[in-house]
Structure 1
């Protein structure tokens, strides 16, 4: 039983990893047989992994195989609107509940992230990783396991769309994004929940407007 769980976990990580890195594209067919040949394990744990990813909304059934979900403009906006509700509330909760040790960890992360992000050679995927880590920290330290879970699930779906469908999102003004992250960070470490909520709201509204005005017209030819 333990080996089967391990094989299922390995298959899941392989498939999700390839989606998250943009190697499996939106709309691309993914079959049990093809994955079995690529990672040399039996089809049962692969089938279990495909079913799990389907339940998470990352894959959809396509005949006898699966494919990476093709997101509609309405789904995309719904995800960003849901993200806004969760992230703003988590920022407020984090500002209330963050410990001194967590403030120290957050500060170290922000220093490192700023140094990396300002390098002109930083890859698009690394920028997405840093953005995810920023929001992951806030969700994780909100003190609400359900809010953390929902925030991670939404980011997981949006990460795939961001990587596979619109890498031109990298054109979002990095100085504006960096300033907004810094404003949220300062509010949290100063334990100011109202300010943290307000600054995260500005950040999420800016992102939603960017998606509406820049991403959707290019992605869906609106």
Structure 2
């Protein structure tokens, strides 16, 4: 199997992706494999192993591993290889706390500016994510696609702030968030319920009720924490 066919199988796409470097393609392939649990904790992998599998040199694999290590997804074992870094309960709790701080502020900001053209565009994009979520929520075979729409919904809120610091921190957490979201939704089979929670958040944004929007958001985060087997507060 060629590198392109492996990548497209992983991403569920048929068309050949052009003008994308091997480094970026390998990064996307490994990231998706981590999120889906295809690469498991406790197993040591090597650069050569994936260079052979994807029919590329070791350089793009090494660069992808470095990038994922910096994102906290992988850990390197000296002279042995690398493995998937386990997501511990305390990690999940801290990620949720960071999300509440960043997304909570972003949600309030969005509600306050909802009538402005730029923010109306963000709301329409969130509605599109919600529509995608609803179409994927009923079919477990589209679990990965649902997770991506779910994560995009939250990231759009942060993007509306036009705050480079918030967006940078959110981007750094995104892969971890996707990994945690994929696992929590899959294990608890709560796609449909999470979708309804997003719908409620959207309705409160459209109504312009900042406090009600925050209550809906916090209820969603509380349900997420329960699905992840952790709590929001220590």
TM-score by length of 2: 0.75
- Structure 1 pair 90–123 and aligned structure 2 pair: CA distance change class (3 A): same
Residue 125 (structure 2) pairs with residue 105 (structure 1): yes
Higher RCO (C-alpha 8 Å, min separation 6): 1
Cα distance in 1 for partners of 2:136, 2:23 equals 35
Q: Which residue of 2 aligns with 1:206?
A: 223
- Structure 1 pair 163–207 and aligned structure 2 pair: CA distance change class (3 A): closer
Q: Which residue of 1 aligns with 2:192?
A: 174
Give deviations 1:77-96, integer Å, cap 9, x for gaps: 22222222222122112223
Cα distance in 1 for partners of 2:179, 2:77 equals 18
- Structure 1 pair 135–29 and aligned structure 2 pair: CA distance change class (3 A): same
Q: Which residue of 2 aligns with 1:10?
A: 25
Q: Which residue of 1 aligns with 2:99?
A: 83
Give deviations 1:40-81, integer Å, cap 9, x for gaps: 222223212211111110101123311011122222222222
- Structure 1 pair 16–109 and aligned structure 2 pair: CA distance change class (3 A): closer
Q: Which residue of 1 aligns with 2:54?
A: 39
Cα distance in 2 for partners of 1:158, 1:77 equals 11
Computed over aligned residues only, the root mean square deviation of the Cα atoms, in angstroms, reads: 2.8
Q: Which residue of 1 aligns with 2:42?
A: 27
Deviation at 1:38, TM superposition (A): 1.4
Give deviations 1:87-110, integer Å, cap 9, x for gaps: 212211222334233333333433
- Structure 1 pair 122–186 and aligned structure 2 pair: CA distance change class (3 A): farther
Give the stretch that moved more between structures: 91-100 or 60-69: 91-100
**Structure 1: which 5+ residue stretches go unaligned?**
215-222
- The correspondence of residues 50-199 of structure 1 with structure 2, limited to 5 A, is 50-64=65-79, 65-98=81-114, 99-117=119-137, 119-120=138-139, 123-163=142-182, 167-170=186-189, 172=190, 174-175=192-193, 177-199=194-216
Equivalent residue pairs, number: 207
